[in-house]
Amino acid sequence: MKKSPVLLIVFIFNITLFSPILAIKAEAEVNQERSLAMEEIKSGSFVLPAFPYAEDALEPVISAKTLSFHYGKHHRGYVNKLNELVSGTELMGLGLEEVIEKTAAQPGKAGIFNNAAQVWNHNFYWNSLSPKGGGKPAGEIGKKIEADFGSYENFVQQFSEAGTAQFGSGWVWLVEDGGTLKIVKTANAENPVSQKNGKAILVLDVWEHAYYLDYQNRRSDHLKAVIDKLINWEFAEKNLNR
Ligand SMILES: [Fe+2]
């Protein structure tokens, strides 16, 4: 069918007229999102770090949906709540570890401690995972794992068992204490900064929000898959040498 020249002219006119308007609108929306992000940063001292990989990068072990909630709701929530709670107090302007140390084991400051420690723990947790992680480590950390646990297989068994055995919410850590690698568990928001139980090398989150959408109550299966596919041994090596 032959197109009407009038219709063609109207079509070209509309494209010419509205394309720049649509482009300006899209740019305005992006700028508004940016300014909202900046408002969030300006409202307090503590900032939600950029996510170190794409939200679907850890699939199929950890789904994009789990990561989206875990980072976008839980981690962001701890950062926002911490900023709200320290605002106007003597803790404003201090570093995260200083806030944790000054509020640990003080019932009157439990709210600030819990949110500060959870921000620190999640910052450390995202870096403990990698889309290219998992498997038997090489380098210095590989040698230390063999020396201190007898074998990599022993380490995997002990690490996953410790995480599974942690009653309720908490964390399972690989720490270096007095030159030896050890596995320790902490409840709720506690961590090696508050417990003074070694230098953190790696951590896995065993709160239900870390795995429930993907594994329901099968925490052990989640931990085994994470250790096998996602542990960031390069991060562990850096922590060993820091
Ligand atoms: Fe978490």
**Could you tell me the CATH number of the domain that includes residue 172?**
3.55.40.20
Is 143 inside a domain boundary? yes
State the distance from the centre of ligand 1 to the C-alpha of 166, rounded, in angstroms: 14
- Residue ranges with CB less than 5 Å from ion ligand 1: 205, 207
pLDDT at residue number 44: 55
Provide the domain count of the chain.
2
Q: What is the CATH number of the domain that holds 104?
A: 1.10.287.990
pLDDT at residue number 45: 85
Per-residue pLDDT of 14-48, as tens digits, reads 444 444 444 444 444 444 443 334 334 444 589 99
Is 10 inside a domain boundary? no
% the chain with pLDDT above 90:
81
Cβ–Cβ < 8 Å for 103, 113: yes
Is 45 inside a domain boundary? no
DSSP 91-105: TTT--HHHHHHHHTT
Per-residue pLDDT of 155-197, as tens digits, reads 999 999 999 999 999 999 999 999 999 999 999 999 999 999 9
State the distance from the centre of ligand 1 to the C-alpha of 47, rounded, in angstroms: 17
Is 48 inside a domain boundary? no
d(CA 79, CA 82): 5
State the distance from the centre of ligand 1 to the C-alpha of 188, rounded, in angstroms: 10
State the distance from the centre of ligand 1 to the C-alpha of 72, rounded, in angstroms: 11
pTM of this structure: 0.82
